[in-house]
Structure formats: C-alpha cells, structure tokens
Structure 1
C-alpha cells in the first residue's frame, strides 16, 4: 500500500535508466522540482537534445555503478529483465526505486500532478488507472486556471504570524480557519495588520 507524501528532491541525485518517451517525461518532471538528474541509456529519443545541458547523459548500457549513489532511481527501459535487476539492486542498497512498468517492484509511484507556483495537487489511483488519474487532474486544473504563487506565499506568511503571535490555541485555530476564506487583497491587509501586532 502506498503512503501519500511529498519528497524534497531539490539538488538530490536522481538516476533515470532509459532513453525513451517515459524516461523523458520522468526527467522533465524531476528537473521542474530541482533534482540533479542523470540519465543512462544506449539510445535516446530526439527530445533529450532539448534538455541535454540540464542533465548528465551517459550513453551506455545499465550497470549498478551508475546508480549506486542515487537518492532515488527510475527504471524506464524496454527490458523487463533490466528493470528487475535495477529493482533488486535498489532494494539491496536501500535506494528508493520506481519501475515504470511494474508497480509491484516499485517503492514509490508518481501521481498525476498540477503545479501552480507552490500549490501542488496530486491525483493517484495507486497504479490502477493512470488514465483516470490524468482525467481527474485535468478536471481539477480547470478549477485552478492561474498561478497561485502570490496567494500561497501571502497565506504562508500570514499563517506564520498567527502561529508565532497567538498563544491561545482556540483563537489561533479560529484565525487560521478564517485565512483560507480570504481573497489575495484581504490576505495582504490581514498580514499587514498582524505584522504591526506584538501579539494576537
């Protein structure tokens, strides 16, 4: 059973074994979240040319040496045997591993996600139907049509002020619940008000 969680991959070593469409899609996503990505494959689709300056490319067949120092690994080759070898090596060396075509061998799966600034919404069917997860993601995306960066940052700053300055737990919970019903301009006014207070 998969536990839903968020993992910080910024500047972490991520290895992707495979040079096809699935591998490319995984690499693009890891780059979006600031990972230090290495890709191992003998052959690569042309799209990798667009991102070759952002990743380490190793044109070779898989060997354990290439992934031994990884924080996490994605196996996306067309060889079931190779993917199984990668999964076994990762388990023996306590490296988180995702096998693109085998949920049973995977330590984690990647949900279908929407990223609007710091707002991230993920949908998963626990591997049962990625297409359904994608469909639901698109429906949710229509609810959040623009970047939420400014809103989420302002909300986070105001929340921090409430937590730091309000010592009464009941009142603190009341103030925090009020925040999520405010629009951006109201939030900014509330933040300015709380900044001027020594305590709430």
Structure 2
C-alpha cells in the first residue's frame, strides 16, 4: 500500500529512462522542485532542448540506451521506455539497490508513484488514483487549479507570517488557537489588512 509522503528533492539525483512525452512532463516537475535530472534515451522529444535551455546546470541529457551504471547512485528512478522488459529490468535493479523507482503505467513494478500536483508557492496539493484513472487525476487537478488560483501563493505566505507573529506574541494557548483557526476565514484583502494592523501593534 502506498503512503502519501512529501520528499525533499533539492539537489537529489533523479534519473529518467526514456525520452518521450511522459519523461518530458515528469522531468519538468522534478526540475521545478530542485532535483538534478538525468534523462537517458537514444532520442528525445524536441521540447527537451527548450527544457535544457531553461535548466542548463540541472538537466543532463544522455543519448544512450539503458545501462545500470546510469542509475546505480540515483535517489529516484523513473522507467518510461517503450519496452516492458527494459522497464522491469530497471525496477528489479532498483529493488536490489534500494532505490526508489516509478515504472510508468505499471504500479505493480513501482516502489513509488508520482501524483498529479497543484503548486501555489508553498501550497502543494496532490491527487492520485493509484493508477486506476490518470484521466480522473487530470480532471481533478484542473478543478483544483481553478479553485486555488495564483493568489493562493501570496495568501499562504501571509498566513505563515501572521502565524509566526501570533505564536511569538500571544501567551494564551486557547486564544492562539481561536485566532489561527479564524484566519483561514479571511479573504486575501482582509488578511493583508490584518497583517498590516498586527505589525503596527508589535
């Protein structure tokens, strides 16, 4: 059974075997979260060139077929080749070396899965159907993107700042809890005003 867990990927080595669209999409996400991404494939989707321009030092494109030497020191591996046999071989090697492995379209071979995500600054929402329906994941993700739009990046950041000040300045634990619980009922404009007044009072 898979347990939802957030992992710090900053400067971790993530290797994707396969240069197709799925590998491209996943590479973009891993790069956004600070990983050092290596993609191994005999050929690559054209957009990998654009991705390389944007993440010159973080993205490494290796034009070759899969070899275990490419993943032996990886933190996470994604097997997304066209060959089930090769993907299974990658998964087996990862099990042997205790490396996290996601095999695209084969949850049984995977030791981890990559959910669909919505990121708004430090607000991170993820959704998964454990491989049953990627289409439903995509539908829910789009709905979440509309519900939690770009303003939530500032909203969550402000909530964090206000929370820090409340925790430092309020000694009554019960009052603290009430204030913090009520903050999420404020809209962004109201939260800005609350924060402005809070800073004046300190």
Find the counterpart in structure 2 of residue 46 from structure 1.
Answer: 46
**Structure 1 residues 147-166: aligned runs within 5 Å:** 147-166=151-170
Find the counterpart in structure 2 of residue 180 from structure 1.
Answer: 184
Find the counterpart in structure 1 of residue 104 from structure 2.
Answer: 100
Cα separation, 1, equivalents of 2:148 and 2:68: 42
Find the counterpart in structure 1 of residue 91 from structure 2.
Answer: 87
RMSD: 1.8
Cα separation, 2, equivalents of 1:184 and 1:147: 8
Find the counterpart in structure 2 of residue 30 from structure 1.
Answer: 30
Find the counterpart in structure 2 of residue 128 from structure 1.
Answer: 132
In the TM superposition, residue 90 of structure 1 has moved relative to its aligned partner by 1.3
Find the counterpart in structure 1 of residue 13 from structure 2.
Answer: 13
Cα separation, 2, equivalents of 1:76 and 1:8: 22
Cα separation, 2, equivalents of 1:11 and 1:147: 28
Matched, 1:143 2:147: yes
* More off after superposition, 14-23 vs 49-58: 49-58
Cα separation, 1, equivalents of 2:151 and 2:188: 12
* More off after superposition, 13-22 vs 147-156: 147-156
Find the counterpart in structure 1 of residue 173 from structure 2.
Answer: 169
Give the total of aligned pairs.
198
In the TM superposition, residue 132 of structure 1 has moved relative to its aligned partner by 0.9
In the TM superposition, residue 188 of structure 1 has moved relative to its aligned partner by 2.8
Gaps of at least 5 residues in structure 1 are none
Alignment match of 1:62 (pick from 43, 62, 66):
66
Q: Secondary structure at the match of 2:147?
A: coil
Q: Secondary structure at the match of 1:74?
A: strand
* Alpha-carbon displacement from aligned partner over 1:103-123 (angstroms, at most 9, x marks no partner): 011122111222223222222
Q: TM-score, normalised by structure 2?
A: 0.89
Gaps of at least 5 residues in structure 2 are none
Q: TM-score, normalised by structure 1?
A: 0.90
Matched, 1:72 2:112: no
In the TM superposition, residue 75 of structure 1 has moved relative to its aligned partner by 0.8
In the TM superposition, residue 144 of structure 1 has moved relative to its aligned partner by 2.4
